[in-house]
Amino acid sequence: MARPRRLNARMGAPPETKDVVRRIGDGSTAYTGDQPRQPAAPVALAPGQVPPQFVVFSWDGAGEVGTGLFPRFLGLARDHDARMTFFLSGIYLLPEARRHLYRPPNNPVGASDIDYLTDTHLAQTLRCVRQAWLDGHEIGTHFNGHFCDGAGSVEYWTPGQWRSEIEQARTFVKTWRTNTGWLTEEPLPFDYDLELIGGRTPCLLGQANLLPTARDLGWRYDASSSGGTQRWPRRRNGIWDLPLQSIPFPGRTFEVLSMDYNILANQSVDSMNAPSEHHDAWRLQAVASYLAGFERAYRTNRAPLFIGNHFEEWNGGIYMDAVEEALKRMSDCPDVRLVSFRQLVDWLDAQEPAVVERLRSLDVGEAPPDGWAGFLTRT
């Protein structure tokens, strides 16, 4: 196990919530007070202070389907004092028998390009999402039906259609008790209307029309961009734009997007069950890629690193093993904060805008020319 990181000292004990439980609606969710295991309120960087190295591990879909991957990474996060963002697909809390309640834009009623969960897996997902929030992680959204192809693709949705999709995702989270009939199950311990401040679109498509709706709904960030670079974030339409990033891909002449699926696609040409003789080399290459992106930022401009994942056992589960190894290695380094997107934007919002712009002036792999001591001094 890695030694405790310096962030530990900033974490308080979970607050007492048993006397503040207030069920919402049908009791699928509840307000239970402040979220446990959060860092101290962020403060502005002092003149000359070196920025922390933020790393955000996020998970698309965030359903537990009996593989044990969701609990595995909750345990890993506890062991290494990490916080993550789980982008929950709304239909994962909607039983397939009630799929007629989902009306996806430009698609038939009840349609979905991802599978609805079985009742067993829906119950497992509920338990994992509940525990994730209690452990200090963020619950965002991956929307619902994951439409990436054809005329019904999210790429072509209007701002109004995105609003419908978001409202349906929120409704499925807030009414799972009614839709399942599981009236004795514990509620999710958060108010999802307050919790939901950002998401990632299916296949990283449709952001341009999503952003006006996200802004109107009061969202604070969106993580749907692709092809971002390792520079400090900026706002688009008033929303923090937190893209997956191009990172070095050892052994190749090009860079790869910082997500497990994109590494897979470049190793096995989209095959998710390639011959096992390749698995060890590909796992090592994936670890090396994540660490190369981390080191490039950590040693230079300290731009936050964003790594996207899926709870999948592609190619023998090597990408799960790779991201676990990378997280362990990163957590050993001083000044590293393994945070959720919510925690990152809390920190960004606490900084003076001129300081963020100054940080943004550093290009990929560019350290302050004369060191940090003079780079962030106030003028």
Structural domain boundaries of the chain? 55-371
164's tokens? 């419908």
Please say whether the beta carbons of 286 and 263 come within 8 A.
Answer: yes
Provide the strand spans (E) within the chain. 22-24, 29-31, 53-61, 85-88, 138-141, 221-222, 234-236, 239-241, 246-247, 256-257, 305-310, 336-338
Task: Using alpha carbons, list the distances in angstroms from residue 351 to 132, 249, 330, 348.
Answer: 28, 32, 24, 5
Lowest mean pLDDT among 162-176, 178-192, 269-283, 313-327: 269-283
Return mean pLDDT, the chain.
94
What pLDDT band is residue 378 in, cutting at 50, 70 and 90?
low
User: Mind listing the pLDDT tens digit for each residue in 51-106?
Assistant: 999 999 999 999 999 999 999 999 999 999 999 999 999 999 999 999 999 999 99
Q: What percent of the chain is modeled with pLDDT above 90? A: 91
- pLDDT computed for residue 359 by the predictor: 98
Statement: residue 11 has pLDDT above 60: no
Please say whether the beta carbons of 144 and 169 come within 8 A.
Answer: yes
What pLDDT band is residue 37 in, cutting at 50, 70 and 90?
very high
Neighbours of 178 (CB within 10 A): 14
Write down the CATH superfamily of domain 55-371. Glycoside hydrolase/deacetylase (3.20.20.370)
What pLDDT band is residue 114 in, cutting at 50, 70 and 90?
very high
Rounded CA-CA distance 224/221 in Å is 9
Statement: residue 3 has pLDDT above 70: no
Rounded CA-CA distance 17/1 in Å is 30
User: Mind listing the pLDDT tens digit for each residue in 331-351?
Assistant: 999 999 999 999 999 999 999
H helix intervals, 8-97: 69-79
27's tokens? 């009791």
